[in-house]
Chains A and B, each alone.
Chain A
């Protein structure tokens, strides 16, 4: 049983070998507020973040464009906070060590940060 865990650990560590010169550390806290540090390769980070950003845009814009004008309130800004998680392929990364970002959608030519 112990050997099985060891194999999993080695497998988890292997993807990071050799990527240190172009590595990007992910830094955060876990659920118990303990510090967590994970190193990912730059190429992997850019690819997965790009996938996530595209997915957010492709999901949000059709829904926003379907909204009709009219009524007392007009939606001008939408802020979406995203954690890049296993469902879009981050794989072995620890749940509390997911890179996050926020995307601000607007339909104004003169927007401000909300």
Chain B
């Protein structure tokens, strides 16, 4: 009771002191959730040209947060004088030191920007690094782990025996944990899933010739008590397992192992390759200019995907049905290739929960969708999706501009990752504190 009361009083302080609607509404509020028709929602684009006072307030608030974090980090002393003299040390060995510092910004449902507390979704992840020790990350940098899900890192040319050997410790641990009754079934099913995953990533390794290429594919599965492996994350207490594949650069004529897949799996594989090709084309068309004017450059794009019962691949909206995460990277020094046209003129947006409001919104605004027992698949025009990413880039540029203006004395923002939710209209809105990201744009600071 006391906690609730204190929160209310503190909330009142915020309410009285800072304009809650400090972030432009069309940066985070999706049309289907705001009760507006598309033409009304489009008309709110004018709010992007927000009053100067509001823009100044948002800028000042963001500067305050960056300055405060910079001041906090500048209190850290350097400790690089304890390098081990052990001759067995690796070539890249140096003394233990704080390399990165990561904080999260969040936007409330009412449009207030602030530092994220322990629980909630980050709207923008900000990575700090001591400037004189920093260098560009190997592209792509890998995102911080937030779960302790057992995982298998896999390559397309990994022999079957090696897959089994690497799975074995995880299998034993899962059985020892008491949540799996049938060890043999688990071993058989998990190995089969790993080999299917390997076949899929072999397809992703094909170089479609775009500037953007798949740098990572992460697939989460759930395992029930009988050892059966299911492709989708459930909401129950099943055991989770993660397959992870990554590469640090695109390669021509990739060596792939061809494995015969069941018809359903082959359909998913084919659709996934088409999804990758179309998305790479979208990214290439949007980022043809290459740079963000603020000294930050986008080097990575992450999207959460799902598959319908018929094998259709799309971008997942909401919870409960995320099949995996696909990371796209670009060769930042590679000359821009003239964008090619995509075959499909729409993007599938998969929503597991049947939202009556969203379906009504789609009907009222002429957005096609297919509804089944398991999910609703909305057909978002690809041209609108591209415009949505373009706007997201502009939002990301705003945060990047402030990050480049307000550094600490020694620690500076090295990398930032704005996260977005995808609208049925193709627009992208910054994720709010209670939301989930469909898309993430990753920038690094070119001035390090």
Q: Tell whether, in the assembled complex, residue B88 and residue A69 are in contact, meaning their CB atoms are under 8 Å apart.
A: yes
Most buried by A among B71, B89, B93, B114: B114
Check if B101 is an interface residue, CB within 8 A of chain A: yes
Q: Tell whether, in the assembled complex, residue A101 and residue B101 are in contact, meaning their CB atoms are under 8 Å apart.
A: yes
Q: Tell whether, in the assembled complex, residue B102 and residue A57 are in contact, meaning their CB atoms are under 8 Å apart.
A: no
Q: Report the tally of A-B residue pairs with Cβ distances under 8 A.
A: 237
Chain A residues with CB under 8 A of B415? 113
Contact of A13 among B9, B72, B73, B106 (CB under 8 A): B9
Contact of B107 among A27, A69, A113 (CB under 8 A): A27
Interface size of B as a range: 35 or more
Chain A residues with CB under 8 A of B11? 36-38
Check if B56 is an interface residue, CB within 8 A of chain A: no
Complex alpha-carbon distance, A95 and B96, angstroms: 31
Given A13-B13, A39-B18, A45-B68, residue A100 in contact with residue B118 (CB < 8 A): yes
Q: Tell whether, in the assembled complex, residue A113 and residue B144 are in contact, meaning their CB atoms are under 8 Å apart.
A: yes
Chain B residues with CB under 8 A of A51? 75
Contact of A92 among B6, B17, B90, B116 (CB under 8 A): B6
Contact of A57 among B98, B112, B138 (CB under 8 A): B98
Interface string of A1-38 (1 = CB under 8 A from B): 00001001110110011011011111111110101111
Min C-beta distance of A80 to chain B, whole Å: 9
Q: Tell whether, in the assembled complex, residue A106 and residue B97 are in contact, meaning their CB atoms are under 8 Å apart.
A: yes
Check if A89 is an interface residue, CB within 8 A of chain B: no
Complex alpha-carbon distance, A92 and B2, angstroms: 11
Complex alpha-carbon distance, A49 and B71, angstroms: 9
Min C-beta distance of B325 to chain A, whole Å: 15
Check if B79 is an interface residue, CB within 8 A of chain A: yes
Min C-beta distance of A85 to chain B, whole Å: 9
Min C-beta distance of A89 to chain B, whole Å: 14
Contact of A69 among B16, B77, B86 (CB under 8 A): B86
Contact of B96 among A52, A61, A113 (CB under 8 A): A61
Q: Tell whether, in the assembled complex, residue B112 and residue A25 are in contact, meaning their CB atoms are under 8 Å apart.
A: yes
Interface string of A41-77 (1 = CB under 8 A from B): 0100111011111100100110011001110001001
Contact of B114 among A17, A26, A70, A95 (CB under 8 A): A26
Min C-beta distance of B131 to chain A, whole Å: 15
Min C-beta distance of B141 to chain A, whole Å: 5
Chain B residues with CB under 8 A of A22? 64
Q: Tell whether, in the assembled complex, residue B433 and residue A28 are in contact, meaning their CB atoms are under 8 Å apart.
A: yes
Given A9-B5, A99-B117, residue A37 in contact with residue B99 (CB < 8 A): no
Interface string of A79-114 (1 = CB under 8 A from B): 100010000000010111111111111111111111
Beyond contacts A9-B6, A114-B142: 4 other A-B pairs, Cβ-Cβ < 8 A, are: A23-B14, A27-B106, A50-B73, A74-B90
Instruction: List the interface of chain B (C-beta within 8 A of A).
Output: 2-3, 5-7, 9-14, 16-18, 61, 64-65, 67-69, 71-77, 79, 82, 84, 86, 88-90, 92-104, 106-109, 112-120, 127, 135, 137-138, 141-145, 415, 433-434
Instruction: List the interface of chain A (C-beta within 8 A of B).
Output: 5, 8-10, 12-13, 16-17, 19-20, 22-31, 33, 35-39, 42, 45-47, 49-54, 57, 60-61, 64-65, 68-70, 74, 77, 79, 83, 92, 94-114
21 examples of A-B residue contacts, CB within 8 angstroms? A8-B6, A9-B6, A12-B6, A16-B10, A17-B13, A19-B17, A28-B118, A35-B434, A38-B7, A38-B10, A39-B18, A42-B68, A69-B88, A94-B3, A96-B117, A100-B103, A100-B117, A102-B144, A106-B96, A107-B95, A109-B93
